[in-house]
Amino acid sequence: MLPDRSPLSSLSPRQAALPAATSPPSRFGKSPRAKRLRGIENANPSQTTRHAAGAPLVFPPPVRPYGRTTRRRRRLRSPASHRLLPGWTKDEIELEVSSYRRRQVTVPVRPCAMDGSAVEELIRRLLDGKKHKVTGKKVLLTEAEIRSLCVAAKEIFLSQPNLLELEAPINVCGDIHGQFSDLLRLFEYGGLPPAANYLFLGDYVDRGKQSIETICLLLAYKIRYPDNFFLLRGNHECASINRIYGFYDECKRRFSVRLWKLFTDCFNCLPVAAVIDDKILCMHGGLSPDLDSLNRIREIQRPVDVPDQGLLCDLLWSDPDRDSSGWGDNDRGVSFTFGADKVTEFLNKHDLDLICRAHQASNSLFFLQISATILSSISS
């Protein structure tokens, strides 16, 4: 019978002369799992396994420390992970990577080419959305297409005046608020551009379930027919408002927060008022104590966010009050109310016949006559 021999006795004299390797300090914490991992790391093969004489030593495989990220994940968090995207500068890549949040990798999305055929194809897809209005299915849109719409529409808005000068005949429509099916019904009733001209008075997003489809179809028509289709700004085309009332959440859920910010940049360039045939003044809200001349509207610089007070705020927020005269406090907590006397005074001063506005729900589907000289419109 062979005598018991330790594993070291099978080593050659040269191997035995080598200095003993010291184990590195433990890389684990103090949790129960860490204790088990530490035991595996510091295990002595001569004590934990039976070793036959002359057999090679077999050590347990190295254990990856708990919580250590793999090389692939580290590369995804690095700007170098986007080097396969040609045409991107280092600053663009770093800007996109800086938006990394909660271990989610954000891949840069560049706007696609938005020529006439591409816009028409997008409009066709959106108009086909009426087939899904019963099931509530969303229209398939890519983030690149939406980004292209925002960029192209922003340039058109800035190329046109802040106070639009339009001619009849034209269809004037009020609040849509994400009701995409109602928008499609409006086009069925009034006709499709360019056969029919349109002026929308704002509030395209929030509250409804399909704000993205709604604003995308409106922007697409604006790009395709810039001289037949016009969009004014409403109080919900403001980051501080649509951040709360649903549009931000829809963009974040379906695409990204970056897309919501791009919409915000586009909204900041929208015109705020229009005059039809030099006789009808259109805006989303109403009159302002600071509106002593229509040139004051033309002088508003864009892009601009909606302030808490002042002319731009009043044009988007003020309301008429049939039961009072002069200027009064608004129950909304923003801007003013104005009486019939202020309307008559303003119309006589500027040689106008009507004020057409939105911002409030009406009893009928499209229009409600508030007074002899104010017409409020709402579409949804």
Q: Is the pLDDT of residue 47 over 80?
A: no
Which tops the pLDDT comparison, 216 or 33? 216
d(CA 346, CA 281): 11
pLDDT value of position 115 = 72
User: Is there a catalytic annotation at residue 236?
Assistant: yes
Predicted confidence (pLDDT) per residue in 172-201, tens digit = 999 999 999 999 999 998 999 999 999 999
Predicted confidence (pLDDT) per residue in 217-259, tens digit = 999 999 999 999 999 999 999 999 999 999 999 999 999 999 9
Mean pLDDT for 296-315 is 96
pLDDT value of position 330 = 92
According to the per-residue pLDDT averaged within each range, which of 102-111, 265-274, 371-380 is highest? Answer: 265-274
Q: Is the pLDDT of residue 368 over 50?
A: no
pLDDT value of position 92 = 56
pLDDT value of position 242 = 95
Q: How far does CA 46 lie from the centroid of its chain?
A: 64
d(CA 88, CA 359): 43
Nearest to 139 by CA among 220, 207, 212: 212
Q: Is the pLDDT of residue 62 over 90?
A: no
Side-chain-side CA neighbours of 37 within 13 Å: the count stands at: 16
Alpha-carbon distance values, 195 to 65, 188, 225 (Å): 68, 12, 11
Q: Is the pLDDT of residue 59 over 90?
A: no
Question: Of the listed 236, 284, 350, 359, which one is catalytic?
Answer: 236
d(CA 309, CA 295): 19
Side-chain-side CA neighbours of 202 within 13 Å: the count stands at: 30
Predicted confidence (pLDDT) per residue in 107-159, tens digit = 445 555 667 789 999 999 999 876 655 445 678 899 999 999 999 999 999 99
φ, ψ of residue 283 in degrees (nearest 5): -155, 175
> In the numeric block, which tokens belong to residue 233?
């700004």
Fold of 116-377: Purple Acid Phosphatase; chain A, domain 2 (3.60.21)
Mean pLDDT for 20-28 is 54
Q: What is the pTM of this model?
A: 0.68
Output the average pLDDT for the chain: 79
